[in-house]
Amino acid sequence: MDEFDTANLIYLALLGGAILLWFVVQNRESLGKVTQQALIWGLIFIGAIAAVGLWEDIRNNVTPRQAVLSGGDRIELPRSQDGHYYLTADVNGTPVTFVVDTGATNIVLSLDDAAAIGLDLDALEYYGRALTANGEVRTAPVTLDDVTVGSLRFEQIQALVNEGELDTSLLGMDYLQRFSSVEISGGTLVLRR
C-alpha cells in the first residue's frame, strides 16, 4: 500500500469513527435498538459488497460459455473473466475444454485430457519439441477420431500431447483454419464455417 492509500484509509477510518460516535451519542437512550439496526445495515452493506465482487463469477455461471448457432454453422464464444476464449468440444466422445490460442499452430492436449479421451499415455512417443512460454517441452503426435461442437464435426484431426505441465488444452490454428472466418467483436469470438 502506498502513502496515498494509507492516508485515505486513515481519513475514512476517522470519518467513520466520528459518524459512529455521533450516532451513539444521539441515540444513547435506545442503544439496544440502534445496535440491532446498525448490525442489520452492516450485513446489508457486506452483502452488497460481496454481490458486486462476485458479479463476474455469478454472470459466468448463469450465462452460457459458448453457443452454437445458425444450424451449426457458427460458434460464439464470450470472453471469459480472465480475458481468454474457451471452447468445450467433444473429443472422441469426451468433453474437453480448450483455450482458443491463435498463437498455437496445433491442437495441443494436456496429459490429463489425453488420458480422459482414452489415449494410452505409456504408448505415446514424445519425439517432437515445442517452445512455450515456460521453455521447451516434448510432444507426441496423435490423431483424434473426431472433434465435435454442436453439429460441427471434424474427423481424423492431427494433434499433439504436451508432456509438460499444461493446465488447459490449446485449440490452435490447425482447428481454427477449418472455419471460413474467425472474428472478435464486442467481447465475443465468432467462428463461421
Taking only the tens of pLDDT, the chain with its 193 residues reads: 566 677 777 877 787 777 777 777 777 777 677 777 777 877 787 777 777 776 666 665 555 556 655 556 788 888 887 888 888 889 998 999 999 888 888 899 998 999 999 988 888 888 888 877 777 888 889 999 998 887 788 899 899 998 888 888 999 898 888 888 888 888 888 888 8
Query: Are residue 9 and residue 90 in the same domain, yes or no?
Result: no
CB atoms within 10 A of CB 88: 13
Q: What is the pLDDT of residue 163?
A: 84
pTM, to two decimals = 0.64
Query: Are residue 161 and residue 84 in the same domain, yes or no?
Result: yes
Please, what's the b/e burial string for 161-178 (b: 16 or more CB within 10 A of its CB; e: otherwise)?
A: bbbeebebbbbbebbbee
Query: Are residue 73 and residue 156 in the same domain, yes or no?
Result: yes
Q: What is the pLDDT of residue 57?
A: 64
**Range of the structural domain that residue 170 is part of:** 67-192
Pairing, β 152-162 against β 108-109: parallel
Q: Which stretches of the chain are assigned E, i.e. beta strand?
A: 67-69, 74-78, 86-91, 94-100, 108-109, 128-132, 135-149, 152-162, 169-171, 181-185, 188-192
Query: Are residue 103 and residue 51 in the same domain, yes or no?
Result: no
Q: What is the pLDDT of residue 152?
A: 82
What's the structural domain count of the chain? 2
Query: Are residue 56 and residue 82 in the same domain, yes or no?
Result: no
Q: What is the pLDDT of residue 79?
A: 83
Query: Are residue 43 and residue 132 in the same domain, yes or no?
Result: no
Q: How far apart are CA 142 and CA 24, in angstroms?
A: 72
Q: How far apart are CA 18 and CA 33, in angstroms?
A: 20
Q: What is the pLDDT of residue 24?
A: 73
